[in-house]
Amino acid sequence: MKKQQLFYFLLVSLFIISCSKDEITHENEQSKEPTKQTVTAKNLKPIGSGVMMQAFYWDVPAGGTWWNVVKGKVADWSNAGIDAIWLPPASKAQNGPFSMGYDPFDYFDFGEYNQMGSIETRFGSTTELQSLINTAHTNNLSVIADIVLNHNSGGDSEYNPFKGTNTYTNYQPMSGMFNRTYYDFHPNDYHSNDEGVFGGFADLCHHKSYVQNWLWNNSNSVAKYYKNVVGFDGWRFDYVKGFAPWVVKDWKNAVGGFSVGEYWDGNAATLEWWANQAEVSAFDFACYYRMRDAFQGNNLNRLNDDMLWKRNASKAVTFVTNHDTDEIVNNKILAYAYILTHEGYPTIFYRDYEDWLNKERMNNLIWIHNNLASGNTSILYTDTDEYVARRNGYNGPGLVVYINNSNNWQERWVETNWSNTRIKDYTGHSNWEPVTQGGRWVKIQAPPKSYSVWSVK
């Protein structure tokens, strides 16, 4: 019995020594500090006061030019009413000069180390990224970093005792920051899995204190380096279904900044649950799918359905298209008229704004959002082809939006916020300037396959 106890004691001791060696290596690594200058104070528009621009699309041109392309547009975007730009994952990924960044390898290489087949990322160099961020800040815009925390890619093969075979979990990035081994991925000595894996990539274990320290706790963690050194102001968290909400909550509590998660689910109650658990905003996929049904499916009654912005507008980031999904093809401008007149924080997709839709009409809707769209929402009328809603105003007059998906001009009597008041259509689609009745009712109109937005003249 004593021999058996001694044998087990030796086995446990060897395991502890092995773990201790791993921790010693990690601690030595954590002593490294960033060498770049930290960012200075910024005078930024409050996020949510305007509109967010998703400043990329899938497969933007390779060749290291994208940061400069965006840099050349931020002044015009700011003048149009944009308050923040969302950038793609900025650090070096496994596919190097061809990667869109969602297969992260070295979180601290923004285009300065010769690894993964290139020095620059697909988007450009470290210097170009920081020049873009500085230019955005000069134009009072916040910069949102796309953060991929669920999975990593590009590690070397090593024997993994938790799988009994080799796995690609040996990460020795040239930045010398956040080296990783099989201890830091699933399965490991803590547990076998978490909420989800993605695409067969190495799945980070966020319960490991070493991983937490490198991602958000340490003074030179990914979160603090991105904020204090590179200059990012907020966070878009990729594939948050793959890990527990507390991960995003802890990150946000460690560094602050606007935070929104990509919880890809069309159920508004589920989105509300996740946003409350993480204590951050969520992309309103419920709104997206109801708009798809309404505008692509030609049934505006679907806009009556449940959405995150209707449950908690302060947590809802609305969108019509993003780099992953673009299902609202017909009548897309009507969908933008919807999100830019309703509650929630609206996002505009780069290609919709720069390439595909009428920029003058988009700028008009941004102006309407920033200047007229205040207060809670009352839906006044819906049928298959027509939708009318009122924003009831908060420190401002509010508005009435009339969306018409039919092939003919439509007119409708509606109850406004205003009594005996002349109103006008701020889109310019109608030249009517009616006066509301004493009981606040008035007849308004909207052109075919279009919209009008009415407020006090």
Residues annotated within the binding site for Ca(2+) are 150, 385
Given 262, 305, 386, 415, the catalytic residue: 262
Three-state SS letters, 94-148: CCHHHCCCCCEEECCCCCCCCECCECCCCCCCHHHHHHHHHHHHHCCCEEEEEEC
Instruction: Name the residue among 365, 389, 362, 395 with its Cα closest to residue 377.
Output: 389
Q: Are 308 and 286 in contact (CB under 8 A)?
A: yes
SS3 label, residue 151: strand
* Token digits of residue 169: 């979990």
The closest alpha carbon to 186, from 207, 156, 171, belongs to 207
How far is residue 381 from each of residues 73, 304, 400, measured CA to CA in Å? 39, 10, 11
Cβ(194)–Cβ(242) under 8 Å?
yes
Terminal Cα distance for the chain, rounded:
92
Which residues are paired to 415 by β-bridges?
Answer: 441
Contact 255, 216 (CB under 8 A): yes
Q: How far apart are CA 214 and CA 210, in angstroms?
A: 6
* Binding residue numbers: 150, 385
CB < 8 Å & 24+ apart, contacts of 379-384: 379/303, 379/304, 380/414, 380/415, 381/412, 381/414, 382/300, 382/301, 382/303, 382/304, 383/300, 383/301, 384/298, 384/299, 384/300, 384/301
Catalytic annotation present for 238: yes
Show the tokens assigned to 453: 């937005």
383 is catalytic: no
| Tokens 């001009």 sit on residue | 409
- Whole-angstrom distance, CA of residue 64 vs CA of residue 55: 15
Instruction: Say how far apart CA 129 and CA 119 lie, in whole Å.
Output: 13
| 34, 35, 64, 165, 220 from 38: Cα distances, Å | 9, 9, 24, 43, 11
Closest CA to 79 of 53, 102, 103, 100: 53
Query: Catalytic residue among 146, 238, 272, 343, which?
Result: 238
Catalytic site residues?
238, 262
